[in-house]
Amino acid sequence: MEKLTKPVLKAVAAILALLAVTVVLRYLEEENIERRLGGYGDRLVRLWNEPLFSVGGLAISPVFLLKAAVFLVLLVFFSRAARKFLQSRVLSRTSIDPGLQYAIEVGTGYLVFVLGLIIGLQSVGLNLSSLAFLTGIIGVGVGFGLQNIVNNFVSGLILLVERPIKVGDRVEIGDLTGDIVRIAARSTWVRTNDNAVIIVPNSDFISNRVTNWTANDRRVRINLRLGVGYSSNPAAVREILLQIAAAQGDILRDPEPDVIFHGFGDSSLDFELRVWTENSLRTPQILKSNLYYEIFSAFSQNQIEIPFPQRDIHVRSIAASIASLVEGRQPLP
């Protein structure tokens, strides 16, 4: 009930403010000003109502600008109130995906604002068809430096409608990895594991390659490459790795862990442990570290060698003096 009361009180306050502005404007009508201010009133009224310019046959005066400013403030307020009401009273009680809830909420806010703006323009007698010349002005503005803003805004609409990413997704773009926490009109907020929010232009998610780790579900596979000495038994290595994976609580049982024998390397037998996790989606390095600790301990207990690079050197020719020195026929200097 409290969540519903606050928006209602704000709406009532906004309506009262609009009524107060209307009363003041009525009070400052020509006859009132002339009666109270004498000769100065006539001049003030003319300045207050004198058109500055015209748009589509509509005279734009200072009093019109004041009313338009109040109208826009109220329109922004009501669009935000509609978003909050929809989220708190409707969407939060459904089983809709949180990312889709956010897209519906933002889209509703945009729709309320645009419809309110159209209704407001028509209510003051402005013929919208006469504003066709503004399209050319906007096109010139885009050509002179607003193309990035327009590009990011359109990209934001595409992200909300097509939803290749959504709020709560784990994404990787370039060298940045983090969670989507907000998709705004111009940019998207990505929160990293360091709790830092990186603001990325929306166009980057449209024009660049993006890895979405949670597009299908929140299960991800983590791969650990390792090598053992040639004296090790591959079957024993596989058994040890699977036992270590089974003992980790953050590793899923379905799909089950598996071990791949990649082949014979220069100095080692190469294996890969592949595990699936859901809880460690945001902290894969911690899971890898825990597994490496356990693998090193288990290999040491089972006398399985973790090799380092080795090279065999074959010498084809050598000086006679060096050969005699090596064979011990010539004393050291």
pLDDT at residue 242 greater than cutoff 80 = yes
Alpha-carbon distances, residue 49 vs 21, 77, 84, 105, 119 (angstroms)? 16, 27, 38, 40, 23
**What confidence category does residue 153 fall into, taking pLDDT thresholds of 50, 70 and 90?**
confident
Domain end (from 126, 147, 178) = 126
CA 121 to CA 56: how far, in whole Å? 11
Alpha-carbon distances, residue 24 vs 20, 32, 71, 177, 304 (angstroms)? 6, 11, 15, 55, 89
Q: pLDDT tens digits, residue range 10-20?
A: 655 655 565 56
**Does residue 291 belong to any structural domain of this protein?**
yes
* Strands of the sheet with 187-191, listed across from one edge: 197-201, 187-191, 176-183, 170-173, 211-212
CA 92 to CA 166: how far, in whole Å? 17
CA 145 to CA 142: how far, in whole Å? 6
CB neighbours of residue 156 within 10 Å: 23
CA 172 to CA 213: how far, in whole Å? 8
Would you tell me the crossing angle of helices 98-123 and 62-89 to the nearest 10 degrees?
150
* Average confidence (pLDDT) over 258-279: 93
Which residue has tokens 């009313």? 67
Range of the domain at 68: 2-126
Task: Give the CATH number of the domain where residue 266 resides.
Answer: 3.30.70.100
Structural element, H or E, at residue 200: strand 197-201
**Does residue 174 belong to any structural domain of this protein?**
no
Residues 111 and 225 in one domain: no
Q: How many domains does the chain have?
A: 2
Torsional sign, CA 41, 42, 47, 50: positive
**Does residue 195 belong to any structural domain of this protein?**
no
> Which pLDDT value is given to residue 220?
92
82 with 109: CB under 8 angstroms?
A: yes
190 with 171: CB under 8 angstroms?
A: yes
pLDDT at residue 7 greater than cutoff 60 = no
- Radius of gyration (Cα) for the chain, nearest Å? 36
> Which pLDDT value is given to residue 3?
46
Residues 115 and 225 in one domain: no
**Does residue 297 belong to any structural domain of this protein?**
yes
Distance between alpha carbon 87 and the CA centroid of its chain, in Å? Answer: 19
| pTM for this predicted structure | 0.61
Residues 121 and 10 in one domain: yes
Q: Across 76-80, 140-144, 203-207, which has the greatest mean pLDDT?
A: 203-207
**Does residue 211 belong to any structural domain of this protein?**
no
Q: What is the mean pLDDT of the chain?
A: 78
Q: pLDDT tens digits, residue range 28-57?
A: 554 555 555 555 555 555 666 666 666 656
**Does residue 201 belong to any structural domain of this protein?**
no
As a 3-state breakdown, the chain gives helix, strand, coil percent values, each rounded to 5, of 55, 15, 30
pLDDT at residue 84 greater than cutoff 90 = no
**Does residue 197 belong to any structural domain of this protein?**
no
Query: Worst-scoring range by mean pLDDT, 1-10, 161-170, 188-197?
Result: 1-10
CA 63 to CA 49: how far, in whole Å? 6
**Does residue 270 belong to any structural domain of this protein?**
yes
Domain end (from 109, 126, 143) = 126
* CA–CA–CA angle 83, 92, 159 (5° rounding): 60
Domain end (from 101, 126, 151) = 126
